[in-house]
Chains A and B, each alone.
Chain A
Amino acid sequence: MTGYRGWATLGVAALSAVSSMAAAQTGGDHPDPAQVQHGKMLYADHCSHCHGFNMVSAGNVTFDLRTFPRDQRERFFESVTNGRDNRMPPWGDVLTQDEIGDIWAYVCTGGK
């Protein structure tokens, strides 16, 4: 019983990871709405105090994420995980790669 439930959980997790990768790799053109919603919450908690509420920013002090090139998923993961230019702090020890994927899905919506 325990084993069965464990496998089921793993299966769901694997499916979720696959869908997350699919959405992210297509540049988030058709992201899972639940993933976007989770990404939006994570963005509000971790990103909004520099990049603006709802991703709305003048872009003169911090990066305007609405203009982040959607074909540069790897660059996004690298910047969020390891930080950038001693300005963007690293989040690799706080956010999992799946969570960063959810934020990427939200970023790909342009905040709309």
Chain B
Amino acid sequence: MKRLFIVAAVATLLPLGAQAQTADELAKGASDTKNVLNYGMGYNLQRYSTLTQINKESAKRLVPVWNYSYDDNRSEESQPLVYNGVVYVTTNSATMAIDAKTGHQLWKTKVEYPPETPRIVCCGIINRGAALYDGKVFRTTLDANVVALDAKTGKELWKQNAINFKDGYSMTVAPLVADGVVITGISGAEFGTRLFIDGWDPATGKHLWRTYTVPAKGEPGSDTWAGDSWQHGGGSTWITGSFDPELHTVYWGIGNPGPFNAAVRKGDNLYTDSILALDPQSGKIKWHYQFTPNDPFDYDSVAEMVLADIKVGGKPTKVVMDANRNGFFYVLDRTNGKLLAANKYVKVTWADKIDMKTGRPVETDVAAKARAGEKVVVYPAILGGKNWEPMSFDPKTGYAYANTLNFGGHYKAIPVDYKAGDWYVGMDLSDIWEWPQGPRGYLKAIDPLTGKAKWEQPSDLPRFSGVLSTAGGVVFSGQLTGEFEAFDADTGKKLWHFQTGSGIEGQPVTWEQDGVQYVAVSSGIGGVYSLFSGDERLKNIPAGGSLWVFALQK
């Protein structure tokens, strides 16, 4: 009888144990080669794996193992997660669990949002992925809900609405679980919204805190907004932050101010185009650093804040690094926000340099003319020197591998009126691109401290895929024309590619199961470049989302 009871108790506990992702597991995610537990393949967002089975010599033997249809023809920017042999992945319209070895679907839970929702989504109908914790899968939805599903069954456990989407708010961000709190960001700076970061209780969905990225009247930083301009000040938070568990600090990039026309919001406009260091349990701001004060050019700074421990001036330093849309590559001391380096990594004409004493840009005549209302040609364009597509940092080579953009823009500010739920941009959008003759993008190996590239791989159409690097000396990325590619991390030489059938805007990941190293990436075109560039060379790239998984041919 007693033995029976023990067996029953163990049987009850086992499924839970197999499904529960603990805080400790999440903290060790960057070195866990059997799973992919975090957005960014680790709290540090380095997107680096120590696996070496796929390496410079063997990469040419990569072959597809399986393909899984998303039954969705929107942009597929989601990063897959992997836990105990199960792949968890999202689209705008569903959350799915797939057997990592066979590609068989284990469950699929649809997301239904009101048909009006795409009206307020600026830059593609997408979702960027899930978070795993304590047997649950957390995700956001386009109509601004945060949802928890049972990781084993896909059953919805709780759903919380962050805000009324109709006023211009949407959610595409993959949540972050840090110090036991589910943290989410939000989009909508092009619709005259005022944005924020939220903390939620993973067990119940209870709302724990909200930190606005634009302070209200009377709050610290509110004197950086003229008049009532803060009310429509933007400051999106749509890319997942990084987390240092030892410092109990989350690092979150903040988006552009609204509207683009900077004249209507005089002042520095904190905390737009900034990095915020936050306490994950309270949402309290520990420190901030602003990249582009009073930004006219949509130099949104939401993109990944990558953590690394590197030598600066010979001294081991805990840093946070950012290839900013404004064209400068920043390295900051992540313990206090002190600026350590800021160098151009692409062509930049709006500023000469960053003043290392004040941390502020030294603006050029181009910026002065734009601010005075003249039409100017400016580099980078509104899509930035690098857009949202996440870079990888290889601690072995010390280089950041990033898909950079090689085109400028035309900028002219125009008057704008606010109306809830409408575009609130204040920029002439009828003629905005300055295209080069040759390649529009380069995959670059960038020295974080100088911004200089060790090598660069051009592409006629810019790459908008995430980047993955491995200890095998291989860098993975994808093309809008569908090729999934592998490069030599030291030289940039192309080692292998495979046509995935649609354009790649996804985020490659790698893991090992039963002695085999797998690499996975989502394919499916429909993001910001395909919508806004007017690049008609894309007309023969079909939409259609799916997940590809590769391994070496036996």
Asked whether any CB of chain B lies closer than 8 Å to the CB of A1, the reply is no
Chain B, 409-436, contact with A by CB distance < 8 Å: what is the 0/1 string? 0000000000001110000011010000
Tell me the nearest residue of chain B to A62, going by C-beta.
B531
Q: Is the CB of B531 within 8 A of A52?
A: yes
Asked whether any CB of chain B lies closer than 8 Å to the CB of A68, the reply is no
Q: Is the CB of A53 within 8 A of B115?
A: no
Which of B117, B118, B122, B537 lies at the interface centre, i.e. has the most chain A CB atoms within 10 A of its CB? Answer: B118
Tell me the nearest residue of chain B to A88, going by C-beta.
B118
Q: Is the CB of A56 within 8 A of B429?
A: no
Asked whether any CB of chain B lies closer than 8 Å to the CB of A75, the reply is no
In angstroms, Cα B537 to Cα A51, docked, is 16
Asked whether any CB of chain A lies closer than 8 Å to the CB of B205, the reply is no
Asked whether any CB of chain A lies closer than 8 Å to the CB of B255, the reply is no
What residues of B have a CB within 8 angstroms of the CB of A88 in the complex? 118
Q: Is the CB of A53 within 8 A of B122?
A: no
Asked whether any CB of chain B lies closer than 8 Å to the CB of A54, the reply is yes
List CB contacts (< 8 Å) of B507-554 with chain A.
Answer: 525-526, 530-532, 534-543
Q: Is the CB of A83 within 8 A of B534?
A: no
List CB contacts (< 8 Å) of A54-102 with chain B.
Answer: 54, 56-62, 83, 86-91, 93-94
- Rounded to whole Å, the gap between the CB of B124 and the closest CB of chain A is 8
Asked whether any CB of chain B lies closer than 8 Å to the CB of A109, the reply is no
Q: How many residues of A contact B (CB 8 A)?
A: 25
What residues of A have a CB within 8 angstroms of the CB of B122 in the complex? 49
List CB contacts (< 8 Å) of B101-125 with chain A.
Answer: 115-119, 121-123
> Do A53 and B421 form a contact, CB below 8 Å, given A61-B75, A90-B116, A94-B119?
no
What residues of B have a CB within 8 angstroms of the CB of A25 in the complex? none
Q: Is the CB of A56 within 8 A of B115?
A: no
Q: Is the CB of A57 within 8 A of B534?
A: yes
Q: Is the CB of A58 within 8 A of B538?
A: yes
What residues of A have a CB within 8 angstroms of the CB of B430 in the complex? 44, 53-54
What residues of B have a CB within 8 angstroms of the CB of A90 in the complex? 115-116
What residues of A have a CB within 8 angstroms of the CB of B532 in the complex? 49, 52-53
Q: Closest 8 A-B residue pairs measured CB to CB?
A: A56-B534, A58-B538, A61-B526, A58-B539, A89-B118, A89-B119, A45-B423, A83-B115
